[in-house]
Amino acid sequence: MSIEFDVDGAVATITINRPEARNSLDPEHNSLLAEAYQRFQADDALRCAVLTGVGNSFSAGADLKKLIPVVRETVLDDTAEPWVMGGMTMVAEAGKPMIAAVNGHALAGGLELALACDFRICVPQATFGLAEVRWAIIPGAGGTQRLPRAVPVGVATEMILTGDPIDADAALRHGLVNRIVEPDELLGETMRVAKVIASRGPVAVRAAKEAIQTGLREGLAAGLLAEQRLLAECMRTEDAAEGPRAFAEKREPVYKGR
């Protein structure tokens, strides 16, 4: 039982390995996932990450028997801090890109983890849901905010208020996932996309992600201003000189992230 951290070139794969509990997070695994997330973000050699799970569940979210009671106790004692799944669901700044390889059920906090990634690729058997109202609580790790930004508001509202999940086909139809691939192709396809992202200019990738998120968060006018500021920052980098030079010399660029 662990949170696995594997590196392939500039791509990290973070795997939730608790299949006997549908990859739900107890306090220990929630902390271990947060450590893995921070390790990825802090390592300049890593440019993209894949988040996945073992078995037929991506993650069932917070362990209802072990983690939720701890959170409730802190609320009742007025010592509660912001509720964070795996150290990543309350993060609003851009950071480095992450892709969710959804190998099965992504439910409650598991869906919130997937939503905290930049986009999602899944298997046909995957399901997606925020079931918290069934247990008389609400999504508290970004679900009420990120899901309406990922799918039509009406779809998100129905999912949140009923607690009922949707299947992979509906997720694809509503734009919650980018594509559906067979289980034996999931990691290979997700890694292929991650390696493409990792091969691009790392400063530009992070700047583009920041521009996207700024526009979504603050509106078009703010997004356009952020885009111009970030473009200027990219233009000042060594990588911005290397890209056109490599194109002219008909070779692959060698980006240094500066």
CB atoms within 10 A of CB 135: 11
Strand order in the sheet with 48-53: 2-8, 11-17, 48-53, 98-102, 119-122, 179-180
Instruction: State the pLDDT at residue 92.
Output: 77
Instruction: State the pLDDT at residue 93.
Output: 76
Q: Point out the residues that are catalytic.
A: 112, 132
Determine which helix (DSSP H) or strand (DSSP E) holds 34, and give its type and residue range: helix 27-42
pLDDT single digits (tens) 53-105: 999 999 998 877 666 666 666 766 666 666 677 888 888 777 899 999 999 99
Select the more confidently predicted residue: 222 or 95.
Answer: 222
pLDDT single digits (tens) 232-251: 999 999 999 999 999 999 99
Select the more confidently predicted residue: 2 or 62.
Answer: 2
Reported confidence tier of residue 188, pLDDT bands at 50, 70, 90? very high
pLDDT single digits (tens) 103-151: 999 999 999 999 999 999 999 999 999 999 998 989 989 999 999 999 9
Is 1 a residue whose pLDDT tops 60?
no
Percent of the chain with pLDDT over 70: 92
Q: How far, in Å, CA of 231 to CA of 207, rounded?
A: 8
Instruction: State the pLDDT at residue 82.
Output: 67
Q: How far, in Å, CA of 25 to CA of 32, rounded?
A: 9
* Three-class DSSP category at 201: coil
Q: In whole angstroms, how large is the CA radius of gyration of the chain?
A: 19
Q: What is the DSSP string of 72-133?
A: HHHHHTT------STTTTT--S--S-EEEEE-SEEETHHHHHHHHSSEEEE-TT-EEE--GG
pLDDT single digits (tens) 14-51: 999 999 989 998 888 999 999 999 999 999 999 999 99
Is 155 a residue whose pLDDT tops 90?
yes
Determine which helix (DSSP H) or strand (DSSP E) holds 238, and give its type and residue range: helix 238-248
Instruction: State the pLDDT at residue 66.
Output: 62
What is the residue-averaged pLDDT of the chain?
A: 92
Instruction: State the pLDDT at residue 84.
Output: 75
